[in-house]
Amino acid sequence: MSASLLRNLRAQARRRGWRVVKTGELVDIWGSDEVIPVISGGLPFVADWLAARMERQQSGPASLAAPEQWRPLLDCYRDELKAAHRTPQTIATRLSHVTTFARWVNVAPADVTRTHLIEYIGRPDRAATTAHGIRASLRDFYAFAIARDACPCDPASDLPAIRQARSRPRPCPDDVARIALTRATDKRVRLAVRVLIETGLRRAEMTRLRPADVIGSAGGWALHVSGKGGDERIVPISDELAGELRDLPSEFVFESARGGPVTPRHLGRLVGAVLPDAWTTHTLRHRFATQAYRATSDLRAVQELLGHSSPTTTAIYTAVADDAMRRAAAAAAL
């Protein structure tokens, strides 16, 4: 884990014109002045600091300026989303999709045609899941514009549905999860792996966790989880995990060097560094779903634990054991 984290740290530092020097357990990042280090500390601390700094300075579609002729309507759309109590993440995604399209199409909102939308959404380099999200954002935006007489017609009203290929669950094997726990010498990373294994939380949900979110009492501890879309749920946890979380002195369970929560992306990098091969935090979530379903055969219970709005989504996360499929097929034999 340390070697991989150090390689990533050096690569990130090089992109800023900095260099990394490791002496024993101490890691220094040096700038061009070579007078004092930019930052010093243990490897996880320095990696966390640099990742947080880079994330703050990253630009993306959401920060792009919209064309002048789109700005008044986009400002009203933002206010509408806020009034509807959409989550900050949903608002950012919607505005990012529409703004990026506006810069591409280079005509006024009222002059956009269905042909423009079809060409943009159907670009061959665009994944179906990405296209599906963009389609939803543009349909929502134009429904808003039509309701306020900002456009003469709705070019997005009859866009074709986007077929998304059925994805198969990819649960992380137990031996891989054990390897991750063994490799995680940093206490915080090991705790992150444990939380993923034992609760199946999303990365974003984990970054919002606070010690105060542990509720209940011995034999009945649980996590109060702030989930996707602002939904809340309760996830039972063991006494041991509850004790470890409650004893943390920080405001957030996974806190950055700045005092706030780490970003989901950075948390994923930390855990990914101790996972072998191409296994990710999300495959640990798939593992949790699969194990929970095998133990109970209760899809609704697993749905509630994962925070899914539909059991159809939960079914995608739960891998069916080979022996169960063989028994099902054998039952049909004459």
**Contacts for 47 with CB less than 8 Å, ≥ 6 apart:** 5, 8, 9, 270
What is the β-pairing status of strands 214-215 and 19-23? unpaired
Torsion angles phi and psi, residue 221, rounded to 5: -75, 155
Q: How far apart are CA 274 and CA 250, in angstroms?
A: 23
64 with 103: CB under 8 angstroms?
Answer: yes
37 with 28: CB under 8 angstroms?
Answer: yes
Residue 107 vs residues 53, 100, 102: alpha-carbon distances, Å:
36, 13, 7
Catalytic residues: 202, 228, 282, 285, 308, 317
Nearest to 265 by CA among 197, 198, 207: 207
Would you tell me how many other CB atoms lie within 10 Å of the CB of residue 145? 21
Q: How far apart are CA 190 and CA 245, in angstroms?
A: 12
**Contacts for 96 with CB less than 8 Å, ≥ 6 apart:** 60, 61, 62, 64
